Amino acid sequence: MTVAAVPAASPASTGEQSGVRLARSRRNAELSLLLLAIVLVAAYSATVEANVLDTVTSDFWIPAATLGLVFVGLHLVIRWLAPFADPALLPAVALLNGIGVGFLRRYDLAQAAPEEREHLAVFAGTGGRQLAWTLGAVVLAAGLLAIMRDHRSLSRYAYTLGLAGIVLVMIPAVLPARFSEINNAKLWIRIGGFSIQPGEFAKLALLAFFAYYLVRKREVLSLASRRLLGIDFPRGRDLGPVLVVWLISLLVLVFEKDLGTSLLYFGMFVVTLYIATERVSWLLIGLILFFGGAYLAYLLGSTVGGPFANFYLRAEIWLDPFGDPYNKGYQLVQGLLTLGSGGLFGAGPGGGQPTLLPEVQTDFIFAGIGEEIGLFGLSALLVVYLLIVERGLRAALAVRDSFGKLLAGGLAFTLGLQVFVIVGGISKLIPLTGQTTPFLSAGGSSLMANWLLIGVLLRVSDGARRPVTGGGPVPRPSGGPPEQLHGAPTEVIRP
Amino acid sequence: MPELVITVARFGFLILLWIFVFTVVGVIRRDLFAGARSGRLVAAPRGVGAPAGPPAKPAKVKRGRAAHQLVVTAGQLAGTRITLGEAQITIGRAEDSTLVITDDYASARHARLVPRDGQWYVEDLGSTNGTYLDRAKVTGPTPVPLGVPIRIGRTSLELRP
């Protein structure tokens, strides 16, 4: 049955009761999936120890149990603060995060001297640090759920967030190299022994701004158009903001030497634009602009050099990694060989040789894991990513307000694009760029930013799946931007 | 560790991984069907009062079947339904409309639906792009039969029993 949508004047009690009874929060399904994910992580750790140490130590389960405790904590927070959130998101992310921690511990084991391995402290090394970061990131996501009770409140800070995003993007570019450069990419802020990657957080802030901006401008962008070859093209003057974002992403490309991040920002903007206007022409324009820009950078890199040289080098390695397999192409070639030696079913967790692969704990973690679980396991991980993205898009489809739609759709797409950029990079589909693999790679910034992203998706999906109760679904925040973003006065019910 | 145990663990892990994936898919699937069950809109009869005959025909009131719901069948709000009461329904982009449509071709106060003696009448409120009852432009208060689309820009609305 459908829940009655009563005109605003009518009493709300009947609609509310039936709504609450009908809607299923699916929290128990989430908990059981979460427990299954934790069992999987524990099984992974046990197999690793059986392979590497030839015995399973008595405390193999401690990292998995710690993670389990953290995630069940978040599950309880969701039960309390976002009871109608999507049940598949948390377990899927928990699995990826758990496998990441497990692999990093496995990397620590491989790096330790053979006689020390059995006594390697559980919370030491990269794996232990990642565990701590996970705790921090999950606390951050829970905090986000607690502070942001309605995703629409985010639209009130849209311009602040947009400015913050641009500043965050720009900081590494303008900082002197010794504060911002690691591995030839200027993406960092380094203070003391501590480094953060502001771009990871910037993408969230920028996306919130894009969503808000496009909700306000969507009509102009989709209405005024000229038809050419059966596709509606926007007017020249409406292209302004797109060109600005394109320029910013090219600047990132040139000055921070990072193709991946620039592709990420640009793709993010074009897709939110597409979602807002439903015009295919934006996708075409976006693709043409990006490929044009990238090709131009490539040409400039080969002739002028300077800031474009790095990009030219990346493209050359991509085109022919085996041309210089011991020097420039070393990393990519090792990654390809690692994936290849994994084959269909892999060497088994703990059976590979991740130490041979440079940057296996960050950029190449997917190849490192692939060596041990093979194509069969890697495709399962990719499907898990796909499911996370799908749930995000589903939340975007189901949520009632345009801002939420754009926010959730854009965030889900960004996550998917990031996975594509890095997995495409290590498998030589596109030029390799230093992106983190969401939830797997070692690194606090990436983990925190992505957990925040999941927090926002949980919040939006909670709003989307929450049954609409009778008189006025959400208390409208006062003094905010146009009411259009803050809940229509009509009580509408979706099937 | 015996080779056998390691092999079993290795493949067991992979199988468990896929079991996890399929369990998640199962949960999602159950979710979808739970949604479909309550979505009466999906099974709504098509072509009730289909617009084939002369213009006078759809305007005939079907006795004994009163409209109880207003359903948006096309446009951005497709799937939205509003239970009809005694009050009139205003449609437009204005925030205080009963049905706020964000259609590009809709005016702020576009049209309204008014009940009179159990029959709903649609009335254009001086919109820029007009309101259409099926194919005919609405000029004055026009009775709306069940299942005949009211078109406002890209949005289409129908009365349902």
Question: CB distance B13–A488 less than 8 Å?
Answer: no
Distance in angstroms (rounded) separating the CA atoms of residues A286 and A383? 27
For A194, the 3-state DSSP assignment is strand
pLDDT in tens, A398-409: 888 888 989 999
The predicted pLDDT at position A228 comes to 65
| DSSP conformation class of A357 | S
Q: Where does the pLDDT of residue A468 fall: very low under 50, low under 70, confident under 90, or very high at 90 and above?
A: low
State which residue of chain B sits closest to A349, comparing Cα positions: B10
Residue B8: closest CA among A47, A369, A143 = A47
Question: CB distance B23–A88 less than 8 Å?
Answer: no
Q: Residue A366 domain-assigned?
A: no
Terminal CA-CA length for chain A: 9
State which residue of chain B sits closest to A486, comparing Cα positions: B95
Q: Residue A200 domain-assigned?
A: yes
The answer, yes or no, to whether residue B136 has pLDDT greater than 90, is no
The predicted pLDDT at position A387 comes to 95
Q: Which of residues 136-175 of A touch B (CB under 8 A)?
A: none
The string of DSSP letters for A331-348 reads HHHHHHHHHHHHTTT-S-
Interchain contact A373–B (C-beta under 8 A): yes
A215, A396 contact by CB (below 8 A): no
The answer, yes or no, to whether residue A411 has pLDDT greater than 90, is yes
Q: Where does the pLDDT of residue A36 fall: very low under 50, low under 70, confident under 90, or very high at 90 and above?
A: very high
From chain A, pick out residues whose CB is under 8 angstroms from the CB of B115.
Answer: none
Q: Where does the pLDDT of residue A6 fall: very low under 50, low under 70, confident under 90, or very high at 90 and above?
A: very low
A477, A148 contact by CB (below 8 A): no
pLDDT in tens, A266-313: 888 888 888 887 778 778 888 888 888 888 888 888 887 777 777 788
**More confident of the two residues A120 and B91:** B91
| Residue A54, Ramachandran bin (φ over 0: left; ψ between -120 and 50: alpha; else beta) | left
Whose tokens are 């967030």? That residue is A161
The answer, yes or no, to whether residue A145 has pLDDT greater than 70, is yes
Question: CB distance A380–B14 less than 8 Å?
Answer: yes
Q: Residue A160 domain-assigned?
A: yes
**Average pLDDT value for chain A:** 81
* Partners of residue A186 on adjacent β-strands: A181
Q: Residue A15 domain-assigned?
A: no
Q: Which of residues 101-130 of B touch A (CB under 8 A)?
A: 102, 104
Of A374-383, A424-433, A468-477, B65-74, least confident by mean pLDDT is A468-477
Interchain contact B96–A (C-beta under 8 A): yes
- Helix, strand, coil % over all residues of chain A, rounded to 5: 70, 5, 30
Distance in angstroms (rounded) separating the CA atoms of residues B27 and A215? 32
Distance in angstroms (rounded) separating the CA atoms of residues A5 and A400? 14
The answer, yes or no, to whether residue A489 has pLDDT greater than 70, is no
**Average pLDDT of span A338-357:** 88
Six-digit token string for B106 = 């809709």
Say if residue A304 is exposed, middle or buried (CB neighbours under 10 Å; 0-12, 13-18, 19+): exposed
For B81, the 3-state DSSP assignment is strand
When divided into structural domains, chain A yields a total of 1
Residue A101: closest CA among A76, A116, A75, A123 = A123
Question: CB distance A380–B28 less than 8 Å?
Answer: no
For B121, the 3-state DSSP assignment is strand
Residue B64, C-beta contacts closer than 8 angstroms, at least 6 positions apart? none
pLDDT in tens, B23-48: 999 988 887 765 444 433 333 344 44
Of A127-131, A138-142, A359-363, B99-103, least confident by mean pLDDT is B99-103
Rounded to a whole number of angstroms, the distance from the CA of A112 to the nearest CA of chain B is 20
The number of angstroms, rounded, from the C-alpha of A124 to the middle of its chain's C-alpha atoms is 26
From chain A, pick out residues whose CB is under 8 angstroms from the CB of B20.
Answer: 33, 36-37, 40, 91, 95, 380, 384
From chain B, pick out residues whose CB is under 8 angstroms from the CB of A383.
Answer: 21
The answer, yes or no, to whether residue A38 has pLDDT greater than 80, is yes
Q: What is the dihedral of CA A21, A23, A25, A26, to 10 degrees?
A: 100
**Average pLDDT value for chain B:** 76
Interchain contact B77–A (C-beta under 8 A): yes
The predicted pLDDT at position A451 comes to 95
Question: CB distance B9–A37 less than 8 Å?
Answer: no
Residue A122 has phi, psi (to 5 degrees) of -65, -35
Mutation choice for B interface testing from A34, A468, A490 by most B CBs within 10 A: A490
The domain of A267 spans 154-277
Residue A94: closest CA among A445, A388, A363 = A388
Q: Residue A269 domain-assigned?
A: yes
- Nearest CB partner across the interface for A348, out of B6, B20, B30: B6
The answer, yes or no, to whether residue A473 has pLDDT greater than 70, is no
Q: Residue A28 domain-assigned?
A: no
Q: Residue A242 domain-assigned?
A: yes
**Average pLDDT of span A165-186:** 75
The predicted pLDDT at position A264 comes to 84
Interchain contact B18–A (C-beta under 8 A): yes
- Nearest CB partner across the interface for B104, out of A2, A56, A222: A222
Question: CB distance B95–A88 less than 8 Å?
Answer: no
State which residue of chain B sits closest to A53, comparing Cα positions: B1
Mutation choice for A interface testing from B7, B18, B30, B83 by most A CBs within 10 A: B83
pLDDT in tens, A80-97: 999 989 999 999 999 999
Residue B91: closest CA among B61, B129, B65 = B129
The predicted pLDDT at position A233 comes to 64
B94, B104 contact by CB (below 8 A): no
Give the start-end residues of each E strand in chain B. Answer: 69-74, 81-83, 89-92, 99-100, 111-116, 119-124, 132-133, 136-137, 142-143, 150-152, 155-160
Q: Residue A310 domain-assigned?
A: no
Rounded to a whole number of angstroms, the distance from the CA of A43 to the nearest CA of chain B is 7
